Amino acid sequence: MMTWRIVPVILTVLGLTLASAAQAQKGRIYNTVKTKLAAGQQVVGGTITTSDPDIYCSMANSGFDFLWIEMQHSPLNYEQVARMIWACKDAPAIPFIRVPDATEGDIQKATDIGALGIIVPMVDDVKKAEDAVTFAKYPPIGKRSQGGGQYRAVWGADYRQTANDNIMVVAMIESPLGVAVVDQIAAVEGVDVVFAASTDLASFSGFKQGEPKYEAMVTKIHDATLKAGRVLAGPVAWKGRPERPDFRFFQGPGETALIRVGAQTALKRGEGGEGGRRGVAPTEGAQP
């Protein structure tokens, strides 16, 4: 009789153990961009082209969900970006890097310094999307080398076990060639976000936003991305626009635009002091 009474207890404990093991195997999620998107929310990233850690930290703590660190169209190098990420490793904004290309070297360096998002430009064929996933993910999913770097100090001692669940891959569709195969690109396992690159679509196609042929390209990207169950991305100017439904991942302005707007706002309204009280000069050193 005692044996039969113990059996349910053993089964319960075994079930809880297996559930805990499954959860541990899945790993913890510290990429808040991923959790917000999974919850159906929108995310916006400010664009960084400077190597100044103070500017980086200011933007990383200003309310952006992530920072779009621009290494395709800037002279930034990985040592500079590593210093910025380290300077504000506890900031709310998650570091995403737009790499120059989907090469093993670029993606390896970007992930080693702590990027949790890899933004790949000019995805015109399926292989480039597959390469991005391969080089961003550890085995058994990809072929990322273990190597060294500051990733463990930034994201925790269990980084090797959790990185594959946290690193995101963003594929940018910038030309008619990419649009033609966007359904295949979006279907690549490991691609999380598909980005409709607004200005480059116009540049490579010769069609302007609002023209039927341009809008047909955006519609094809929209439909293929949602069909594949991926997140649809675009410029922040498209955020909340009724003619651009379902976009949830946005590239925001860069630091020069933000400084300009901030300066204009400060000159127009007068900068407030501590607690936002107008007419009270801020105490030096009190700003975050």
Look at residue 265 in the predicted model and tell me its pLDDT.
83
Let me know if residue 288 belongs to a domain.
no
- The β-bridge relationship of strands 168-173 and 117-120 is parallel
Number of domains the chain contains: 1
Let me know if residue 266 belongs to a domain.
no
Name the strand (E) or helix (H) holding 235. strand 231-235
Q: 36-87 pLDDT, tens per residue?
A: 999 999 999 999 999 999 999 999 999 999 999 999 999 999 999 999 999 9
For residue 119, the SS3 value is: strand
Q: 112-159 pLDDT, tens per residue?
A: 999 999 999 999 999 999 999 999 999 999 999 998 899 999 999 999
Look at residue 268 in the predicted model and tell me its pLDDT.
81
CATH number at residue 118: 3.20.20.60
Look at residue 163 in the predicted model and tell me its pLDDT.
98
Contact 132, 107 (CB under 8 A): yes
| pLDDT(18) > 50 | no
Look at residue 24 in the predicted model and tell me its pLDDT.
42
Exposed e or buried b for every residue in 228-261, given b needs 16+ CB within 10 A?
bebbbbbbbebeeeeebeebbbbbbbbbeebeee
Let me know if residue 261 belongs to a domain.
no
Single-letter amino acid, residue 259: I
Q: 171-193 pLDDT, tens per residue?
A: 999 999 999 999 999 999 999 99
Task: Select which of 73, 227, 241, 277 is catalytic.
Answer: 73
For residue 117, the SS3 value is: strand
Distance CA 76, CA 213 (A): 36
Single-letter amino acid, residue 251: Q
| pLDDT(15) > 50 | no
For the question of residue 73 being annotated catalytic, the response is yes
Let me know if residue 25 belongs to a domain.
no
Q: What is the pTM of this model?
A: 0.86
Q: Which domain holds residue 234?
A: 30-256
Kindly indicate the confidence band of residue 273, based on its pLDDT and cuts at 50, 70 and 90: low
| pLDDT(2) > 60 | no
| pLDDT(242) > 70 | yes
Let me know if residue 118 belongs to a domain.
yes
Closest CA to 151 of 130, 132, 141, 136: 136
Burial (CB < 10 A; 0-12, 13-18, 19+), residue 264, is: exposed
Let me know if residue 197 belongs to a domain.
yes
Let me know if residue 248 belongs to a domain.
yes
Let me know if residue 134 belongs to a domain.
yes
